[in-house]
Amino acid sequence: MSQTLSDRLERAAGILRQCESVVIGFSGGVDSALVARLARDALGAGRVLAVTGLSAAVPEVQRRAARAFAADQGIAHLEIATSELERPGYVRNDGDRCYHCKSELWPTLAAIARERGYRSVVDGANVDDRADYRPGARAALEHAVRSPLAEAGIDKAGVRAASRALGLDTWDAPAGPCLASRLAYGVRVSEERLEHVERAEDGLRALGFREFRVRHHGDCARVELAPPELDAGVARAAEIASAVRRAGFGRVLLDVEGYRRGALNEALPLVTLAAGRVA
Amino acid sequence: MTPGDGRIERALALLRSHGASIRGASAAGAAGDVLAVHADAAQVARVRSIAPRLRELGFRYVAVELGGDGRGDA
């Protein structure tokens, strides 16, 4: 680990010590897992509570990962049901969907922190997240959620390097945003569509693919495989099509350029057009 | 963007001019922003090589249809 990263980790630990005790918005992914570990080391396990919000948008594989990580690290872990699917702005799935989701999550975590005597709420945002389109970050600001990694200047590569140095199994885990992020903007969010995506991705995982997305475009599934896995995808196209159809899709497409982070954000200028056409 | 706006015809011409062996193409997705190329999966590499030019025709994404006839709802 470089001296620069080491310094930044110490800065993040200092931010956590300023917080005194923390509730962490904890998905079990690489970012929030690192924050949980840093918080445990900086504050002691008794001053840290990792909270995972559960809804149909959170896949079972992610729930299991969050539980396993917290148990392995000796960090108190709480799962709560969240109701973002009852928010019209979230269901509408325009460019602000993440804002509506986080507007459900952060006040809930703030209430838990107040009731249980924790001083602060923190998340796992890193520097790179600030460069991407992240309307959820606005909700974090509105609810005074702190971001120790981003505030300390740690980017995604730094998160992975630090996690590896600390021996965390999450260090090379693929990014795992919520299932709603697979729905093209303007395609309304429903439990059924989220289930189709989850089943389709479970199917691809069972075939041995590691990094991918099944994008739901309303009338079809568009499969993005990480470029190193694209040749294997071509060779196993029939199996992919079968797995995704079994999940509930009638039409399956394989993206020729493969997985790229935030691919659906490329369509944001079309949101207004699409929103009026998709039931 | 509508099915009759000529994008599909231009995409087909471009694909064929680059030697892609295809059966056809259609616009997919609720916003019509996905170019679905009807071809064997083995054509993925060839289609990928001209994907940026296909996107310039007005598509956000370029994909190959996996089996079926291109009809059906998710």
What residues 11-70 of chain B have any CB closer than 8 A to a CB of chain A?
28-31, 33-34, 36-37, 41-42, 44-45, 47-48, 51, 60-68, 70
Q: Tell me the average confidence (pLDDT) per consecutive run of 10 residues in chain A, 279 residues long.
A: 94 98 96 98 98 95 96 98 95 93 95 97 93 79 94 97 96 88 95 98 96 95 96 94 96 94 61 39
Tokens coding B9: 């015809």
A223, A254 contact by CB (below 8 A): yes
E strand or H helix at B12, and its extent?
A: helix B7-17
Query: How many residues are present in chain A?
Result: 279
For B13-70, the pLDDT digits (tens) are 999 999 999 999 999 998 899 999 999 888 899 999 999 999 999 999 999 999 754 3
* Sign of the torsion formed by the C-alpha atoms of B6, B43, A179 and B69: positive
Nearest Cα neighbor of A122 from A223, A213, A225, A47 is: A47
Of B47, B67, B73, the CB nearest to A219: B73
pLDDT at residue B67, rounded to an integer: 76
Give the gap in angstroms from C-alpha B68 to the nearest C-alpha of chain A: 8
Q: Is A154 helix (H, G, I), strand (E, B) or coil?
A: coil
Please state the three-class secondary structure of A126-153 as a single string: CHHHHHCCCCHHHHHHHCCCECHHHHCC
Band (pLDDT 50/70/90 cuts) for residue B2 is: low
pLDDT at residue A136, rounded to an integer: 79
Which residue does chain B place closest to A271, by CA atoms? B31
Give the gap in angstroms from C-alpha B16 to the nearest C-alpha of chain A: 17
Of B42, B51, B63, the CB nearest to A253: B63
Q: Is B54 helix (H, G, I), strand (E, B) or coil?
A: helix
Residues B35 and B24: their CA atoms lie apart, in Å, by 11
Question: Could you tell me if A54 lies within 8 Å of chain B, comparing CB atoms?
Answer: no
Residues A192 and A189: their CA atoms lie apart, in Å, by 8
To the nearest 10 degrees (0 to 180), the angle between helices A191-206 and A60-73 is 70
Secondary-structure percent of chain B, ordered helix, strand, coil, rounded to 5: 35, 20, 45
Which residue does chain B place closest to A225, by CA atoms? B63
Instruction: Look up the ipTM and state it.
Output: 0.89
Nearest Cα neighbor of A198 from A59, A32, A50, A31 is: A59
pLDDT at residue A145, rounded to an integer: 96
pLDDT at residue A12, rounded to an integer: 98
Tokens coding B6: 């000529």
pLDDT at residue B74, rounded to an integer: 37
Instruction: Tell me which chain A residues have a C-beta less than 8 angstroms from the C-beta of B42.
Output: 234
